[in-house]
Structure formats: C-alpha cells, structure tokens
A and B are shown apart, each in its own frame.
Chain A
C-alpha cells in the first residue's frame, strides 16, 4: 500500500510540473488557460494528500475555479479588442534556464535540509484551540490567532475591486444570449450554490471549510450568472453595490476597533494567561519580558487601587 501511495505522490508531483510547463509553453493561449485550470485541480488533489483539506477547498474554488473564470473572461475580451494576441512563439533561452535550474537546485537542497525536523506551531495551536471558540484548527488560526492577517487580506480583496473600478474596466457587454439550457441550469444551480456556501461557512467551525471557501462558491455563482447574461438592475449598481462589497470588510474593521478600544484590559489578561502556555517564556530574552510599560501598567494601577 505504501508503495502505491508513494507512486501516486510521485506521479501527482510530476503531473503538476508537466501541466505547469505545458500551460506556460503551449502556443495556444486558450489551451494554456485550460491547462492551468487542470493544474489548479491537481493542486487541490495535492493539498488533500498533504492533509490540508481546507487549502484543497480554497484551491479548487478560488485557485482553479475563480482564477480560471477570470482568465477566460479576460481572454474573451482581449480577443474582442483588436489586439493581436497571437505572438510569435517564444524562443527557448538556455542562459536564464541554466541559471534558474542552478538556483532551483540550491533551493531544493535548502528545502530538503528542513525536512527531517521541521519546526511548527501544532502544539501551541492545539493547546489554545479551546479558547478560540471553534474546533477546526485552521479556522481558529485564520479568524482568531491570526485574524489580523485575515482583516488585511479582506482589504486586499476590496482594494483590488476598487482598483479595477478605478481603471474603468469596460462593463461586460451583452453577448449572444446564452440559451435556455444555461438559464435553466442556473435556475436549478443557484439555490444549491447558496446552500452549499452557507453549509461551508457553518461547517468551517469544526470541519474543513470556512468563510473564504464559502465566499468563493458564492463568487462562482456570480460568475455563472454573468456568463448566462444576467445583469444587475441599473438602480442597484451605485451605492447598493458599493454597500454590499464594503459591508464585510467594514464589519471586520469595526470588530478591530472594538478590540483596540478594549485593549489595555485584554492585553493584561492575555499577559497573565500567556505565562502558563507560552514556551517562549522559558527564554528570558523574549520580548514579553522586556516590554509593555504601555499595556501592562494600567492593569497594575487598577489592581493597586
């Protein structure tokens, strides 16, 4: 069985490399994008093999699905603008290739040197999981331990949208009607997609899933609707649309403000609890010990009173 698994892993790794190479090298751009989507799906499989089902869901929904749809939509519009998109085939350049292969070999050695005993935070996450409010460790890291990263990441999404709007991207023009079949499919599929997104969001607390995967499923529903030629009513594209896209990041920011406002007390508590759990505390040089005239003092003052 082990041999089978090793063989599967080896084939999958080689398949990933081969698909990536073909996606970049094949002369037809459309084919390249389709190969890239297939590459994304194989990536999802690789995440499953690496015991990262949350990442697999995100990759399948966002990496392969949404990115693929965006790439295809962009290619369709590129063909419509008169821009000649067929370029002469790129010549093979051995100079950079050799340099990169050498750099890759060095990188590979460095990576292999880490494999015997990689350091990580499994133990700390497991110890604090109970206080995070969810039982799926990945969700705990995303929404709680490293929630600040997630806030910034949401803002990156919003920023990309604003930036695209600021470039005055052509509104998608009406194409030939997609036909009754697609329309029918959509009517059947949209409720299912919304339901699936809600399920993913709910399941994320204790099982693989979560907000981003759910959001990506909703996004895919939106892309499908666009493909089928459905458009927002004009009176919904102004402030209502802007409100809809800013409500998520806005809410997250409000939570962050609340945290910042309640911080002195919170920091005091956390300093107390951390003392029990943090292995860093064994190091006398850790910043915890040479810090915090700011946030520790109010707690002290309160206790004195």
Chain B
C-alpha cells in the first residue's frame, strides 16, 4: 500500500488526542495563570482548526479511526473514534468556537474574562472529548464536564435572572445525565461492554434494552431541550452573556443530540422493536417546532425570541427519527438533512445571539419595540441578524434552506404529509418572528436611548458567522458527500 505509507506520517499523528488534550491543558493553564488566560484562550480556540484539518485528512478515505486509550482497547479500556459523523460536529464546534472566542475577547471586561477563558476551554475540551468518545460511560463523564462548564458560563454574568437560569439549568442537566447513566447501567449488565462497536453486535431486543432506550432517550432529550423538556432552555439561554448564549444554543444542545444520533443509528434502530420510539420522538419534534415558533413570535425581547427559536429548530432535528427506509432502517437522506441542519443552525444561531448581544450592548436593552433606528447605526449587526434569520427561516440561498429542503424531500418521498405541513408552518412562523425584529430595526422608537459604542470586532464576528451560514447554501455539492458518509458509515457499522 504505497499511498497508505505516504499518508501514514500525517495520519499517525495523534490528532484526536491533541484535539482533546490541548483545550483541557489550556483550561488548566488559564486557570493557573489568569494574566495569560487571554492569549492561551485565543490560541487554543484558533488551534482547533488546523488540528481538525489534520484529523480530517487522517480520517478521509477510511471508515473511521479508532484509538485505544492507553493501549487497552475495548471492552476493557476506552476507545476514541473519529469518523465522518464526529467530524461534522467537531467542525461545527471549531468554527463556532473560534468565532465566539474572538467575539468574547471584546465582549468581556477583564474581571470576567479571567473566568471566561478557563471555563470556555473546559467546555471546548469536553465537547471535543464527547464527539470523539466511543464509550458509554466515558460519554457520561464528558457530559458532566460539559454541563458544569456550561452552567458556570451561564452564571458568569451574575444578576438574578442569569443565576436562576443557571440553577435551573444545573438541575436539568444533572437529572438528564443521571437518567442517561441509569440506561448505561442496564446496557452494561445486559451486554458486558460499554463500547459502541461491541454493543452493536451484542445488543438484543428485550426488556432491558427497551428500558435503556427509554431512559437514555429521555435523559438526552432533556439535555437537548426537546419539547416538553425545553422548560430550562429559554431562561438559561436568554439570561446568559451573549457569547455564552451562542455557545449553548449552537453547540451544547447539539452534543447530547449527537449521542442520541449515535445510539439510534448504531444501536437501537437496527433492533426493529424501536419504531414506536421513533414515531414519538417525531411527534415531539413537530410539537417543538410549532410551540417554539409560536412562543418566539410572542416574545418581547430579542434574546428570548432567539432562545425560543432554538427550541423550535431543535424540533427539526427530531423529524428524521420517524422516517424509515423500505427495509425498516433509518432513512439516510433524512439523516443527512438533519446533520446539515445541525451545522447550519449552529452557525446562524450563534450569529443571531452575537448580534443580539451587540444590540444589548448598544442600547442597554433588547426590547424589540424599543429598538431605535439601529439599521443606520449598527449596519453590520443588522445585516448579521437578518442573514442568519433568513437561514433559520429556511429561505434560499442559505444553509438552512438546503437542510430544510433535503428534509422536506425525504418526508415527501415517504408521503409523510404531517411532517411536511409542520415544516412549512414552522418556516412561515420563523419568517414571521425574524421579520418582526428586522422590521423594528428600521423604525425609530418612542423613546431615545443613550447609545454605547459597540466594538467593531463584535460586529464583524457576528457577520462572519452569518456569512458562513449563507455560504453553506451556495455550494452544497462540495460538502454533501461528506455528510452522506457521515450517515452511511455508522449505519453500515451497525449492520455488520
């Protein structure tokens, strides 16, 4: 294998381990030396992208790299796994993370920045570790690391709303992980392993696996804020500092969703006894779209509106669960669309929260009706919000449009008119709430406000993420093969 050897020098580097260890080491270092926290934080956030490119080249052309941590290997040890599916989430994390880190650098004053950097690096390390883990219990530990970092970041702004939101978030996230862990306990004792690959071979339909699916599904749905478990999300995401809201909505809720996707595609869907669960998740997704969009339309404040929009957009991610192929297996086309939506939503929602942060900084408030001619005074922010909003609403030519189009197509091919109707309704409502805000950008408010300067970098980073969400829709052909393999490979692995 001549080309294998020439690639081996690059592929042999432990990219996956570096991707986990670098942020975690950075977090410890930033906690130890608060004065160097800022350069450490920026450097590590930016370093994720070249490392990810390295990992991508190593993974390309294989059906996934496996790494036995400490050399033990499953079932005794823990395995890391990097494949196309994890790369989708890792790339989302790296892109959004870098944008938000640049924004946060201007956003936080030094007293808060000192804490933001270590906490953010802990969150980044936990996210990367989660996306690379192939071990059920290891996933629990990364979930807790991620949850505690996210709670601490939520509370960082102080103030009654943020503290109460963070407390509610903490209780919800602890409950979610413990319920997930109970499911892990059942699976472990049913199969004698925690490794995804071995579980895929050994898991059989039965009361234990059914109960485990219910528990893990419920725990992860709570952490993903699927309707009706969304109660904790709007208060936490709306009251956190803007860059933190962006991280929570774009990345943290996606992490538990990623575990759910893995469990579904690799372990539970092939059991065939779980089709009813898929239908229930689909119903909840539809309810989330309608309820979240309706609530978003009624909110008086920009950040609350954007937070409820997250509740609605999470609903779309669950619409692929009820769609099955002719053989009764998950529908690859629908899952490809959902992964596309994950990336598109992360970019657009981060841009929206950052833009909302700019509005809040500018006017000292984010009441929609009191926005005072911001279109003239913050043109870049307004452009970022509007572009991201167009992507969220699923209008062409944005990334959101491509994702929703693919999902619509999959639902149409299966004749699921209920899903199609809800998706179209959700799109209309989303367009409604986005243009409600955009409309107020151009009107003068009844009362003028003292305006504060918004640093240029805060405007540019918001716009940059929104433009990325737009670019995603311009050339989908380049990326679609990657998303195809991201779906097909886990399913192929499960069937072996």
Contact = CB atoms under 8 A, between A and B. Distances in A.
Q: Do A and B bind each other?
A: yes
Given A253-B25, A294-B8, 12 more contacts: A110-B212, A145-B72, A152-B141, A159-B148, A242-B32, A246-B31, A269-B71, A270-B71, A290-B63, A291-B64, A293-B61, A294-B58
B140 to A, nearest CB: 9
Contacts of A159: 27, 119, 122, 145, 148-149, 152
A53 interface: no
Interface string A261-305: 101101101110010001010010111101111110110010000
Contact of A119 (B28, B65, B119, B189): B189
Contacts of A106: 211
B203 to A, nearest CB: 11
Contacts of A152: 126, 129, 138, 141-142, 145
A148 interface: yes
A155 B142 CA distance: 10
Interface of A: 106-107, 109-111, 113-114, 118-121, 124-125, 128, 144-149, 152-153, 155-156, 158-160, 162-163, 165-167, 239, 242-243, 246, 249-250, 253, 256-257, 259-261, 263-264, 266-267, 269-271, 274, 278, 280, 283, 285-288, 290-295, 297-298, 301
B190 A257 contact: no
B5 A148 contact: no
A243 B32 CA distance: 6
A267 B77 CA distance: 13
Interface of B: 1, 4-5, 7-8, 11-12, 14, 17-18, 21, 24-25, 27-28, 31-32, 58, 61-79, 81, 115, 118-119, 122, 125-126, 129, 137-138, 141-142, 144-145, 148-149, 151-152, 155-156, 182, 186, 188-193, 195, 197-198, 201, 206-208, 210-212, 215, 493, 496
A266 to B, nearest CB: 5
Lowest 5 A-B CB distances belong to which pairs? Answer: A119-B192, A270-B71, A163-B152, A260-B17, A110-B211
Contacts of A162: 31, 115, 118-119, 122, 152
B75 A121 contact: yes
B197 A128 contact: no
Contacts of A290: 63, 496
11 contacts: A110-B186, A144-B70, A148-B77, A155-B28, A159-B119, A165-B115, A253-B25, A260-B14, A267-B68, A295-B67, A297-B11
Main secondary structure of the interface of B (DSSP, over half): helix
Contact of A286 (B77, B118, B189, B198): B198
Nearest to B211: A110
A257 B21 contact: yes
B78 A287 contact: no
A148 B138 contact: yes
B193 A121 contact: yes
B66 A291 contact: yes
Nearest to A264: B12
B77 A145 contact: yes
Main secondary structure of the interface of A (DSSP, over half): helix
A113 to B, nearest CB: 5
A290 B197 CA distance: 11
A110 B214 CA distance: 11
Nearest to B65: A294
A270 B189 contact: no
A297 B4 contact: yes
Given A119-B192, A297-B4, A298-B8, A280 B17 contact: no
B74 A270 contact: no
A107 B496 CA distance: 30
A267 B12 CA distance: 11
B147 to A, nearest CB: 10
A297 B76 contact: no
Contacts of B67: 263, 267, 294-295
Nearest to A253: B25
Contacts of A298: 8, 12
A114 B190 contact: yes
Contact of A114 (B58, B61, B186): B186
Contacts of B72: 128, 144-145, 270
Contacts of B61: 293
B129 A280 contact: no
A121 B76 contact: yes
Contacts of B76: 121, 124-125, 128, 145, 278
A292 B195 CA distance: 16
A163 B151 contact: yes
B61, B68, B76, B190: residue with the most chain A Cβ atoms closer than 10 Å: B76
Contacts of A109: 207
B332 to A, nearest CB: 20
Nearest to A243: B32
Contact of B189 (A118, A124, A128): A118
Nearest to B148: A159
A120 B193 CA distance: 7
A163 B148 contact: yes
A147 B141 contact: no
A250 B149 CA distance: 18
Nearest to B62: A293
A280 B75 contact: yes
Nearest to B138: A149
B210 to A, nearest CB: 7
A160 B145 CA distance: 9
Given A149-B141, A287-B197, A249 B66 contact: no
B71 A267 contact: yes
Given A158-B31, A285-B201, A292 B17 contact: no
Nearest to B22: A257
B299 to A, nearest CB: 28
Contacts of A286: 74, 197-198, 201
A106 B63 CA distance: 39
A123 B197 CA distance: 20
A297 B2 CA distance: 11
A274 B151 contact: no
A134 to B, nearest CB: 14
Contacts of A285: 201, 496
A15 to B, nearest CB: 22
B28 A148 contact: no
Contacts of A259: 17, 69-70
Contacts of B192: 119-121
Contacts of A270: 68, 71-73
A78 B201 CA distance: 52
Nearest to B214: A106
A219 B62 CA distance: 48
A50 to B, nearest CB: 14
Given A128-B72, A243-B32, A260 B18 contact: yes
A295 B12 contact: yes
Contacts of A121: 75-76, 192-193
B152 A278 contact: no
B189 to A, nearest CB: 4
A118 B210 CA distance: 16
B8 A297 contact: yes
